[in-house]
Chains A and B, each alone.
Chain A
Amino acid sequence: MFTFPRRLASTAALVSMVTLGLAACGGTTKDSAAQSTGAPASAAAPASANPNAPLKEGLKIAFLPKQINNPYETIVDKAGIEAAKEFKGEAKEVGPSDASASSQVSYINTLIQQQQDAILIAANDANAVCGPLKQAMSKGVKIVSYDSDAAKDCRNLFINQADSEDIGRSQVKMLADMIGNKGEIAILSATANATNQNAWIGFMKDELTKPEYKDMKLVKVAYGDDDDQKSFQETQGLLQAYPDLKGIISPTTVGISAAARYISGSKYKGKITLTGLGTPNQMREFVKDGTVQQFALWNPKDLGYLAGYAAAAIASGQITGAEGEKFTAGKLGEYTVGKDGEVILGKPFVFKADNIDEFDF
């Protein structure tokens, strides 16, 4: 019995020596691989776009969300399927029940076998889906990512909800309108190093330098770390530290709902104006009880609708995904493809008491 562990130990020692030996010899590292990568061959020769081509009838398109039965994604995809009815296409939604990195991959394969004209994907992992998507593209299937992008060379188009500048500037405008361009304001963000949050806050600060906001003063940026309880406490702290505070912008769905919950139950209700980015289901009660007048997010219905039309436009040859091409997305009107094949849905959508009940997510 005692010989075994010893033998095992010597085997382990041998293996680690071999390992070290290999390490000493060098080998393929991140840097050397990056150097050896030559010019990447583009997946397909850029076909020329024909802006006057009609939308083909009977196009087969499939929505592949991050996860099936997720209320937000269901709204997006349903709207896309509605759009397909308008241009007489066949659309469907398929997808995995868990949002793990690799779960979408086998769906991409089956969609290729089903000879779909376009696959619309909200990628769980920008790279894990890349191989099969490239395979699909090499077989002539058009790939449109929406909501959450795949790696740039693995899709033709990305339908982006809203751009950072629009989000940042519109949040300031929204709050300024409600407080009459006057008073102290604060921001309740998520984490201090969240890229998207910081980009928005950068544009908010820039917007505040404009002359029309000279009477508005940003006193503090607080961080709730996307934690409900911490955001709640940070709100409490802001209101105690700045008794003259007039407004709070919380550009995070966790932050805004925690802040609204604190304000609605405190003496500050009605004295402080709160806005930011939130979802209708989280914010409904606070809009109804008057704590919050308005907040923003993109309209998921429009996102799905636009994605559906974009897929039809590219599958019909109206566009190829090159910058500057234009296409019409039904009732939403004309859109232009931006840099890196990005199409931006538009300004953030504002939710108020009179429209909030139209949304369930």
Chain B
Amino acid sequence: MAPDVTTADPADDVKVPAPAGRGRSPFGRFLRWDVLVGVLLVLVFIGGSAGSPGFASIDNLSFALGDLGEIALIALAMTMLVVAAEVDLSVASVLGLSSALVGALWDAGWAIETIIPLVIVVGAVCGLVNGLLVTRLGLPSLAVTIGTLALYRGLAYVVLGDRAIAEFPQQYADLAVGDVPGTPIPYPVMLFVVLAAVTGVVLHATGFGRSLFAIGAQEEAALFAGIRVKRIKLILFVLSGTVAAFAGVVYTLRYGSARADNGVGLELAVIAAVLLGGVDFDGGKGTLGGVIAGVLLIGLLRNLLMLNDVSTEIQSIVTGLLLIISVITPRLVAAAGQRRRSPSPTSSSTPPES
């Protein structure tokens, strides 16, 4: 249970210049959604260990964590984007394109040491295209990245077609599959812990991180406060593409199979984890700790359901319901908090609550 809620600074979103009316009652402190997700995660873990033989085994947890590797990595960048009120739906397609490129170049006899940095640069360019379309043309990121979702996946098929390339060098495959010597922690998870710590510090303890919350909460205000909104957003999109491409390399080596259709639909898992972790889809609110708890909750819950032979259909119903509850509950709590503080005519008119 290495990465946990601890990376979050629990008091942090108090600093956020939140729009008026978001719940700040004494209750709110304890009813914070991301803390609830953390508690839920612990409950799933305890319940699973007690009720399902094999769940708490080192092998199983190590596998379950490794299986979450790519989702967790991409979720780091996605958290920052969503906090800044943007989204990148093209991440899974960038992952697929990166996987296809790794396969095609490897098949053509290139050195893996050349392929990996090159593919990551391609991912950064994919992110740059998204970012430029959003910031220069002022298009909504949801629309732009739905477009590039199709575009990048299409390119992946152009690159590799329906072929599957296998047999990557053992030492690199070991890096994607193996555990850090002497521990049950897979290498990608170790890497994630490091990157998560960095992201946590950047998001919750730096001016850059604070400006993301400011942009997400009130873009106009952030702009007037001197925050270079467009530039920051561009950086976030480039980061998102880069991380997705890197996740594509990990994915390819982990499964030992490069394919254009790798990771289809993965963007939904990432966004589900981000929302479940308590990040507001409208931006300006959320913690990285919550997101990490969200990733782990979805992953371990799914593992637990599978161990108990719960069918795929029921698994998706459970995750879907959890997600809907996670989006609704904080709003209900906030609304309840607002009602408790006798609503003054000014405060009820200001919040642009949907």
Q: Is there contact, CB below 8 Å, between B306 and A106?
A: yes
Q: Smallest distance from the beta carbon of A184 to chain B beta carbons, Å?
A: 36
Which stretch (B25-33, B77-85, B251-259) binds chain A? B251-259
Which stretch (B146-154, B163-171, B192-200) binds chain A? B163-171
- Bound Cα distance from A25 to B114, whole angstroms: 9
Interface string of B154-179 (1 = CB under 8 A from A): 00000000001011111111000100
Which stretch (B56-64, B183-191, B210-218, B327-335) binds chain A? B56-64
Q: Is there contact, CB below 8 Å, between A30 and B262?
A: no
Using known A-B contacts A4-B231, A131-B177, A131-B255, determine if residue A27 contacts B54 with beta carbons closer than 8 Å.
no
Q: Which of B55, B261, B313 contacts A101 (CB 8 A)?
A: B261
Q: Does B129 contact A (CB under 8 A)?
A: no
> What residues of B have a CB within 8 angstroms of the CB of A25 in the complex?
113
Using known A-B contacts A28-B172, A107-B306, A113-B59, determine if residue A97 contacts B316 with beta carbons closer than 8 Å.
yes
Which stretch (A10-18, A206-214, A315-323) binds chain B? A10-18
Using known A-B contacts A18-B117, A113-B57, determine if residue A131 contacts B109 with beta carbons closer than 8 Å.
no
Q: Does B112 contact A (CB under 8 A)?
A: yes
Q: Does B6 contact A (CB under 8 A)?
A: no
Q: Does B67 contact A (CB under 8 A)?
A: yes
Q: Smallest distance from the beta carbon of A167 to chain B beta carbons, Å?
A: 23
Indicate the size class of the contact surface on chain B: 35 or more
Q: Does A92 contact B (CB under 8 A)?
A: yes
Chain B residue, CB-CB nearest to A151? B166
Q: Does B234 contact A (CB under 8 A)?
A: yes
Q: Does B137 contact A (CB under 8 A)?
A: no
Using known A-B contacts A106-B67, A109-B67, determine if residue A114 contacts B307 with beta carbons closer than 8 Å.
yes
Q: Does A241 contact B (CB under 8 A)?
A: no
Q: Is there contact, CB below 8 Å, between B111 and A26?
A: yes
Which stretch (A81-89, A122-130, A250-258, A260-268) binds chain B? A122-130
Using known A-B contacts A4-B231, A101-B261, A113-B55, determine if residue A94 contacts B309 with beta carbons closer than 8 Å.
yes
Q: Does B107 contact A (CB under 8 A)?
A: yes
> What residues of B have a CB within 8 angstroms of the CB of A12 in the complex?
121, 124-125
Near A by CB (< 8 A), chain B positions 186-241 give: 228, 230-231, 234, 238
Q: Is there contact, CB below 8 Å, between A28 and B166?
A: no
Q: Is there contact, CB below 8 Å, between A105 and B54?
A: no
> What residues of B have a CB within 8 angstroms of the CB of A130 in the complex?
166, 256
Q: Is there contact, CB below 8 Å, between B255 and A29?
A: no
Chain A residues within 8 Å of chain B by Cβ, number:
47
Chain A residue, CB-CB nearest to B120? A15
Q: Which of B55, B255, B259, B311 has the largest count of A CB atoms less than 10 A from its CB?
A: B255
Q: Which of B110, B118, B172, B311 contacts A68 (CB 8 A)?
A: B311
Q: Smallest distance from the beta carbon of A149 to chain B beta carbons, Å?
A: 13
Near B by CB (< 8 A), chain A positions 98-122 give: 98, 100-102, 105-107, 109-110, 112-115
Q: Is there contact, CB below 8 Å, between B257 and A128?
A: yes
Q: Is there contact, CB below 8 Å, between B172 and A15?
A: no
Q: Does A45 contact B (CB under 8 A)?
A: no
Q: Smallest distance from the beta carbon of A113 to chain B beta carbons, Å?
A: 3
> What residues of B have a CB within 8 angstroms of the CB of A128 in the complex?
164, 255-257, 259
Q: Does B297 contact A (CB under 8 A)?
A: no
Q: Is there contact, CB below 8 Å, between B109 and A29?
A: yes
Q: Which of B113, B231, B262 contacts A102 (CB 8 A)?
A: B262
Chain A residues packing against B (C-beta within 8 Å):
1, 4, 8, 12, 15-16, 18-19, 22-23, 25-31, 33-34, 36-37, 68, 92, 94-98, 100-102, 105-107, 109-110, 112-115, 125-128, 130-131, 151
Given contacts A30-B106, A131-B173, 17 further A-B pairs with CB under 8 A are: A1-B230, A8-B128, A22-B117, A26-B111, A27-B111, A33-B169, A36-B169, A94-B309, A96-B312, A102-B263, A106-B303, A113-B55, A113-B57, A115-B54, A127-B164, A127-B166, A127-B256
Q: What would 22 A/B residue contacts be, using CB atoms closer than 8 Å? A: A4-B231, A12-B124, A15-B121, A22-B111, A22-B113, A23-B111, A28-B171, A30-B106, A30-B167, A33-B167, A33-B169, A34-B167, A68-B312, A97-B316, A101-B259, A105-B67, A106-B303, A127-B164, A127-B255, A128-B164, A130-B166, A131-B254
